[in-house]
Amino acid sequence: MSGPEACIQIHDVYRTFKSNEVIHGVSLNVYNNEIFGLLGPSGSGKTTLVKMIAGIDEATSGRIEVMGTQMPKLEMMKHIGYMAQSDALYMELSAKENLEFFGSLFGLRREKLKKRIHEVMELVNLTSHLKRTVGHFSGGMKRRLSLAIALLHEPEVLILDEPTVGMDPVLRKSIWDEFDHLSANGTTIVITTHVMDEADKCHRLGMVREGSLIAVGTPDALKEDTGSATIEGAFLYYGGVRA
The CB-based long-range contact list for 212-216 (8 Å cut-off, 24+ gap) reads: 212/24, 212/25, 212/26, 212/45, 213/26, 213/27, 213/28, 214/238, 214/239, 216/28
Residue 231 contacts residue 205 (beta carbons within 8 Å): yes
Q: Name the residue with higher pLDDT: 222 or 165.
A: 222
Residue 77's pLDDT band (cuts 50, 70, 90): confident
**% of the chain surpassing 70 pLDDT:** 98
Residue 121 to residues 52, 85, 135, 161: CA-CA distances in angstroms? 28, 19, 17, 19
230: confidence class by pLDDT, cuts 50, 70, 90:
very high
The CB density around residue 229, as the number of other CB atoms within 10 Å, is: 9
The residue with greater pLDDT, 240 or 76, is 76
217 sits in which H/E element: strand 212-217
Is the predicted pLDDT of residue 160 greater than 80, yes or no? yes
- Categorize the per-residue pLDDT at 241 as very low, low, confident or very high, splitting at 50, 70 and 90: low
Separation CA 190–CA 20 (nearest Å): 25
Give Cβ neighbours of residue 42 (< 8 Å, ≥ 6 apart). Answer: 194
Instruction: Give percent of the chain with pLDDT exceeding 90.
Output: 73
Q: What is the pLDDT of residue 121?
A: 94
Rounded distance between C-alpha atoms, residue 232 and residue 195, angstroms: 9
Over residues 62-80, the mean pLDDT reads 94
The pLDDT of residue 136: 94
pTM: 0.91
Q: Where are the domains of the chain?
A: 28-57+64-238
DSSP alpha helix (H) spans, the chain:
46-54, 95-105, 110-123, 139-151, 169-184, 196-199, 219-226, 231-238
Mean pLDDT of 34-60: 94
Residue type, 222: L
User: Averaged over 216-241, what is the pLDDT?
Assistant: 91
Task: Give dist(CA 59, CA 76) in Å, integer.
Answer: 17
- Which pLDDT score is estimated for 243? 47
**Tens of pLDDT along 95-154?**
999 999 999 988 888 899 999 999 999 988 899 999 999 999 988 889 889 999 999 999
Q: What share of the chain is helix, strand, coil (3-state, %, to 5)?
A: 40, 25, 35
User: Topology of domain 28-57+64-238, per CATH?
Assistant: Rossmann fold (3.40.50)
Q: Tell me the pLDDT tens digit for each residue of 169-205.
A: 888 888 899 899 999 999 999 999 888 889 999 999 9
The answer for residues whose C-beta is within 8 angstroms of residue 208's C-beta and 6 or more apart is 38, 39, 40, 44, 45, 46, 49, 214
Using DSSP, how many helices (H) and how many strands (E) does the chain show? Answer: 8, 10
